[in-house]
Structure 1
């Protein structure tokens, strides 16, 4: 009897162990949602505003801090409940959303509190805001009131400006503007044609954003005279090497050595309106009062300022490039490269110039014109030997071209014999008839 008793007890014990092991093994696939945070190390700090969870796509859920697996769970749950969340009560039941997360989101969710309230005839739902755009605009210059006039709520407008501040005081590109959580895909498609912003984000933006965030926390402003502030001084206020040098160049070359007013400082494009507001209480302009002669000189200077929208990039001068903000090395490189080419055929070529400030050049390219009518062009058969040997795009193939065209007059066959890479051929054809 005792033997049977112990055998049964051992069997039950083994069975329990197997059951616990099986449960533990099968629960590995279940995701632990307790460690979810709204702001991850790689995400943009969110300024939450009202939203309808039924309108969020996968990317927007991701911006709220959910993982791909959590998002899949939420979207599947949405299908289970009929393809639409009808109340906060219902959404809260989704196990992918923890109590802590839901409490942070709850006040922003545009849904009735309970299922009963949703079914009630007294509940009319939340009206979806529509936006109106009057014309082309630069979002960097828009205030809270401007965004409200467009159709966003006050909280949304404030969140948009905080997102801009996170980026460093500028939306940088349409690509970055689209990443703002407040801007839905539908609203972005409406706004996109009117945005005065580059399409793509500059390659070095991430490095700039990182430096901006780290520097911002370290900046300790103090009283200063911008007319005596040197390169290192501007850097200590959070500007990058290029920005600091641009400010010094702008003051010394464009303004002939001194800022006369806050308006002069604001004209320097690398100093954003937000940055100027931060520095304003510490600025001490110790400039001499403007006399009648100074007024006359100031008026003459204004008259001499170049309207770069009317300037041709194939005829822009060294002095005009300096006036725009380039240093002598960059200006010289561009003029020299243009001379070797015989003129630029498209704006993309200019960005390949050595020693050029790419961001400053992009601003010039967006402003100035490019006239290619006076750029010399030849056929492979007629091109002068000196031109072939000195042109940056032809000089490495010049000897072959000169040799092949002695016996071959069909350019298509010469191209086959040259065997140049497609991208090199495309550049060469820019200067051929």
Structure 2
């Protein structure tokens, strides 16, 4: 009996051990990963511009809004696929990039849509612009047009100037210039030999930027007539010698001797919108110094208010938008986007414009009518190549459209081959016959 008792006890003990081990294995397999949220958590980033994901280092991925873990995962995934992303389709499969984040970045990614086109001639449409520079320059003095001529896009140029303003109005050093996210390491290496900047950032960097701001604040403005102000006078107002020369040349040659209105001064590209607002209260246009012509008196006299209920949104001017209350940036963005589109087809497009005051624009479009009769539309088969490559809704698919229509002269078939996202196809159809 005692032998049977011990045998039963041993068997029971072994059974308990087996059950305990099995339960532990089950609990491991059902481990809760609900706290691991870094894959889908993304941070929205403003002022995005075109970029090749193969050029981004760890810091630049973080600057796009990814966490440290997400960044490590993306770079590891890049190594797994051969050290280079070959298409948007491939990049989208990286589980550290959520669908929402990919949608946000999609239109800025310089990669072909799918792997099947990675080695085709379509890839040429995604080639990066070459940065060209032939002489030494101080980046503190370059207006947006010079950055664009150098090879940067308009959005990239705007971001560079915003970064300069963030630093206090000066890049300070080559080190600080290099830290600008928009300027890749490759482009910095091209620009570095030509930069007229100190190599190192001053030890008292914070005080240095404060001094720049203080120097600007020390300018004592007094009422002045822009038509009798010489180069030295413009320098006293805070402009560099070169900027002052440009202003005087613009007045004497382009405007034939005089500024006729505040708008003439505002349109001079070396006078930023911020600087113009500083100067505006002190500008005194003297009728005696305005070059005599029939239009002068009309410009100086107070203009009648615009009846915006009769102004077509496809014909409204920059000046009228300012009159309505939009700032220069919002008005310029709206006019520029309309020009690229060839005209708005619906009012929602206006609200989708970047860098606008949406509340004010909503009020504007509720008052103004929209006439679409003059908006140019084409079939995919007949659309001119230049139009396809320049239109915001077609340019990323232009080469594919041109290729497919050679053997398939049918819009429905071409759209089917393009395999576009529904929202992209809907936008295209706005400008298709």
Which one has a bigger Cα radius of gyration? 1
Q: TM-score range by the shorter chain?
A: 0.3 to 0.5
Structure 1 length as normaliser, TM-score? 0.46
Structure 2 length as normaliser, TM-score? 0.46
